[in-house]
């Protein structure tokens, strides 16, 4: 597991420095920034996009509970760990789904328990990062004796779903990753366009696009002998057709 990026939001400088030192003892934790009030803390969080934030509750400019709510609205995956001298905010901490609630003065054993909880949780999450590989394994096993598949395994919010071929409008590459586009959503897949092409009747419109010709709305001449497809999805997505593939598509469509 990579290091967890951490931000500390604590208005008491000695407490902030002590906590930073304690966290630096753990190989999985990297304290990226320390902020000394809620306003600067929120700016740092939006800038760094950390995995976890250790924050005090009673701070100038912004209360820690309110800051936690804003953080969760910004990105619910960020873990919140409160560090405070007061016990009477525990219920509020629970309501904002904080991972833990640590009382000052800091106790090393208590900090260690919190880090173990954090790392354990993040290890579970990190298995979700393997989903593209798992999906790739599935697509290679489905109907191995046949050329064509009926469904494509895709990732959605940490789970694998099987999308019917008829519901696929096109497949595309973006940022070195492969996606499947349905009528109103895009899903990450763990295989290449070439692998999908081998197991479907989708048309290779472009080196970065495979198209389900049943879901084409129209096509039009673009420039320099190329064409564009307009798909029948919600966005009426446009897909380029490389010049070398125009003739083949026209034959498939009978035009």
**CB-based burial, 189-225: b 16+ in 10 Å, e otherwise:** bbbebebbeebbebbbbbeebbbbeebbeebeeeeee
Please write the tens of the pLDDT for every residue from 148-170.
678 888 887 778 888 999 999 99
What is the reported pLDDT for 139? 54
Give dist(CA 78, CA 174) in Å, integer: 26
- What the chain holds in terms of domains, given with CATH numbers, is 4-128 (3.40.50.2300), 142-253 (2.40.50.1020)
Instruction: Give the confidence band of 184 by pLDDT, cuts at 50, 70, 90.
Output: very high
Give dist(CA 114, CA 97) in Å, integer: 15
The CA-based dihedral angle spanning residues 115, 116, 122, 127, taken in that order and rounded to the nearest 10 degrees: 160
Instruction: Give the confidence band of 145 by pLDDT, cuts at 50, 70, 90.
Output: very low
- Cα of 128 vs its chain's centroid, Å: 10
| Residues 181-191, mean pLDDT to the nearest whole number | 91
What is the reported pLDDT for 255? 67
In contact, 4 and 29? CB cutoff 8 Å: yes
Task: State which H helix or E strand residue 156 sits in.
Answer: strand 151-156
The CA-based dihedral angle spanning residues 86, 88, 92, 96, taken in that order and rounded to the nearest 10 degrees: 30
Instruction: Give the confidence band of 144 by pLDDT, cuts at 50, 70, 90.
Output: very low
| Residues 69-81, mean pLDDT to the nearest whole number | 91
Angstrom CA distances, 113 to 107, 108, 120, stand at 10, 9, 11
| Residues 216-236, mean pLDDT to the nearest whole number | 86
12 pLDDT higher than 70: yes
Higher-confidence residue of 130 and 200: namely 200
Please write the tens of the pLDDT for every residue from 93-135.
777 888 889 888 999 999 998 988 888 877 644 444 555 555 5
Residue with tokens 């640590």: 102
* Prediction pTM value: 0.50
């Amino acid at each position: 597991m990579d290091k967890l990026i951490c931000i500390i939001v604590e208005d008491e400088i000695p407490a902030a420095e002590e906590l930073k030192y304690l966290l630096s003892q753990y190989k999985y934790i990297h304290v990226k920034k320390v902020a000394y009030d809620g306003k600067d803390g929120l700016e740092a969080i939006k800038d760094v996009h950390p995995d976890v934030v250790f924050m005090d509750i009673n701070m100038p400019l912004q209360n820690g509970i309110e800051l936690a709510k804003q953080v969760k609205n910004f990105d619910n995956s960020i873990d919140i760990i409160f560090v405070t001298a007061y016990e009477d905010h525990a219920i509020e901490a629970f309501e904002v789904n904080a991972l833990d609630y640590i009382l000052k003065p800091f106790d090393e054993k208590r900090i260690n328990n919190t880090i173990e909880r954090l790392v354990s949780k993040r290890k579970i999450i990190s298995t979700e990062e393997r989903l593209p590989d798992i999906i790739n394994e599935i697509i290679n096993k489905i109907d191995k004796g046949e050329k064509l598949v009926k469904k494509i395994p895709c990732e959605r919010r940490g789970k694998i779903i099987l999308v019917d071929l008829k519901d696929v409008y096109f497949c595309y590459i973006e940022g070195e990753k492969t996606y499947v586009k349905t009528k109103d959503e895009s899903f990450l897949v763990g295989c290449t366009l070439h692998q999908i092409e081998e197991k479907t009747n989708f048309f290779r419109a472009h080196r970065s696009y495979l198209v389900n010709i049943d879901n084409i709305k129209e096509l039009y001449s673009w420039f320099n002998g190329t064409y564009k497809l307009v798909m029948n999805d919600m966005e009426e997505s446009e897909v380029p057709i490389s010049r070398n593939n125009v003739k083949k598509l026209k034959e498939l469509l009978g035009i």
